Amino acid sequence: MPLTSTQHALRSGASLISSADAQAQAHFLNELDQGELLALPFLFDFWAMPHQLPPEGDWRAWVIMGGRGAGKTRAGAEWVRSKVEGALPMDPGPCSRIALVGETIDQVREVMIFGDSGILACSPEDRRPTWVASRKRLEWPNGAVASVHTAHDPEGLRGPQFDGAWVDELAKWRKAQETWDQLQFALRLGDLPQVCVTTTPRNVGVLKKLLEAPSTVVTHAPTEANRANLASSFLEEVRRRYDGTRLARQELDGVLLADAEGALWTSAMLEGAQVVRPPELDRIVVAVDPATTNGKSSDECGIVVVGAVTKGPPQDWRAYVLADCTVQGMTPVGWAKAAIQAMERFGADRLVAEVNQGGQMVAEVIRQVDALVPYKGVHASRGKVARAEPVAALYEQGRVLHVTGDLVALEDQMVRMTTSGFEGDGSPDRVDALVWALHEVMIEPAAKWRQPGMRAL
């Protein structure tokens, strides 16, 4: 039964006090004794935003789904603390054996336990647990214990049993479903064992199934909900850079996005194609989809850098998307310079440019910037979808990988390319450039490749 934060009654005392006049605020503070003043910073119900407070009712899983910096970690840490202390109203019961589950041990330790919003930072000194590194667990003065488990070792959840669990960033785990299943078998103590899941949404099966379960409740908030605790420059920069993209909807608005119907590339496909660095490459090309106009409202000039390893038969070839150097609002000379700079930066051996719109002008502009640049003009005789489909097939075969870096806007366009066309405003110029680059290093050479035969004696 999904809920939004606006469906919960406002329980934040801080919101009430902040809306009062200065005289009422002073009266409130003056009425508190020394002990109450010292305790006030640790009364999370007083400070919490609606999406950070657990819903009432007999739920099994509470999913806090929000944008980056929306306060999910703090909510998870405070929920653990309140369960250990038995401080929640209408709670089914305190917990004494809790599982803390993250992707890796380091992430559990550095974010969930020792982080700025982690369990230790949220706990008052007289109730603060002790970290026992040798046993990978927290021990509270009242005897409660929280043990660390990771998605890299789902089998580690076999054997232990718990009456509560906090799961962080479930949607990004590689072994998410297996780990989640093992945790469910381990949550078997107490009258109503519960799990708090804090995650940025991703379109993955384990999260979608969890959200559909009748025993799941959800609170949700965008990054801006926690604006008071974030640097204003952070919000301004990420909004300026990513506003209007699928990534912003997911990472900042905290919205679970479904792939477009008939998408040539899916989110899962792209997530599985990530690598940290490429091997030694045999070829590197820069492909350009030139813009026909220049100005703030003009289409982008897609510039994408792709390398390839082409040893052995074509089925063994691999391509690596190295960079998206797309520009917008530049004159023809400006985008030509940007493309040639990308060549120099990555040591590319050829510049490939579509000439459907600009014709001979494209070659002349590029030669004007560098008369000796290795250049090849390509002409589109088929539609965008027809050209993109064989490239998408390479991804399905696992033969194209993305080098971790700034490929966000390119990938956003890719998941909006469908068998019917491009879903969105403007033109998929980045995808066009990607398609031309992969045609140059993979598809065209493979069509010409012949396995040499044994000559008969």
Residue 220 backbone dihedrals phi, psi, to 5 degrees: -145, 145
Q: What is the CA radius of gyration of the chain?
A: 27
Give the distance, in angstroms, between the CA of residue 399 and the centroid of all CA atoms in the same chain: 23
410: left (phi over 0), alpha (psi -120 to 50) or beta: alpha
Over residues 19-50, the pLDDT tens digits come to: 666 776 666 667 777 666 666 666 777 666 77
Give the distance, in angstroms, between the CA of residue 188 and the centroid of all CA atoms in the same chain: 32
- Where are the CATH 3.30.420.240 domain residues in the chain? 267-448
Asked if pLDDT for residue 457 goes beyond 50, the answer is: no
What pLDDT is attached to residue 174? Answer: 78
What pLDDT is attached to residue 6? Answer: 36
d(CA 433, CA 286): 8
For the chain, give the percent of residues with pLDDT over 90.
47
Q: Which of 49-58, 101-110, 184-193, 274-283 bottoms out in mean pLDDT, i.e. has the lowest?
A: 49-58
What pLDDT is attached to residue 306? Answer: 98
Alpha-carbon torsion (420, 424, 429, 431), positive or negative = negative
Asked if pLDDT for residue 93 goes beyond 50, the answer is: yes
CATH code, residues 267-448: 3.30.420.240
3-state secondary structure of 190: coil
Look at 248 and 273; give whichever has higher pLDDT: 273
d(CA 394, CA 400): 6
Q: Is 405 within 8 Å of 276 (Cβ atoms)?
A: no
For the chain, give the percent of residues with pLDDT over 70.
84
Q: Which of 118-122, 147-151, 250-254, 286-290 bottoms out in mean pLDDT, i.e. has the lowest?
A: 250-254
Over residues 430-440, the pLDDT tens digits come to: 999 999 999 99
Structure tokens that stand for 4 in this block: 């939004």
3-state secondary structure of 298: coil
Closest CA to 46 of 90, 72, 15, 19: 15
Confidence of residue 456 (pLDDT cuts 50, 70, 90): very low
Structure tokens that stand for 104 in this block: 């890796």
- Bridge partners, 323 (sequence order): 305
Q: Which of 75-89, 205-219, 322-336 bottoms out in mean pLDDT, i.e. has the lowest?
A: 75-89
Highest mean pLDDT among 209-218, 377-386, 402-411, 424-433: 209-218
Asked if pLDDT for residue 328 goes beyond 80, the answer is: yes
Closest CA to 132 of 121, 119, 148: 148
- Where are the CATH 3.40.50.300 domain residues in the chain? 5-251
CA distances from 86 to 83, 114, 192, 361, 415 (A): 5, 22, 14, 73, 45
Highest mean pLDDT among 26-35, 55-64, 202-211, 221-230: 55-64
Confidence of residue 13 (pLDDT cuts 50, 70, 90): low
Mean pLDDT across the chain, nearest whole number?
Answer: 84
What pLDDT is attached to residue 409? Answer: 82
What pLDDT is attached to residue 2? Answer: 39
- CATH H-level superfamily of 5-251: P-loop containing nucleotide triphosphate hydrolases (3.40.50.300)
d(CA 166, CA 180): 11
407 Cβ neighbours under 8 A, 6+ residues apart: 321, 323, 324
Asked if pLDDT for residue 272 goes beyond 80, the answer is: yes
353 Cβ neighbours under 8 A, 6+ residues apart: 287, 288, 289, 290, 339, 362, 363, 366, 375, 376, 377, 378, 436
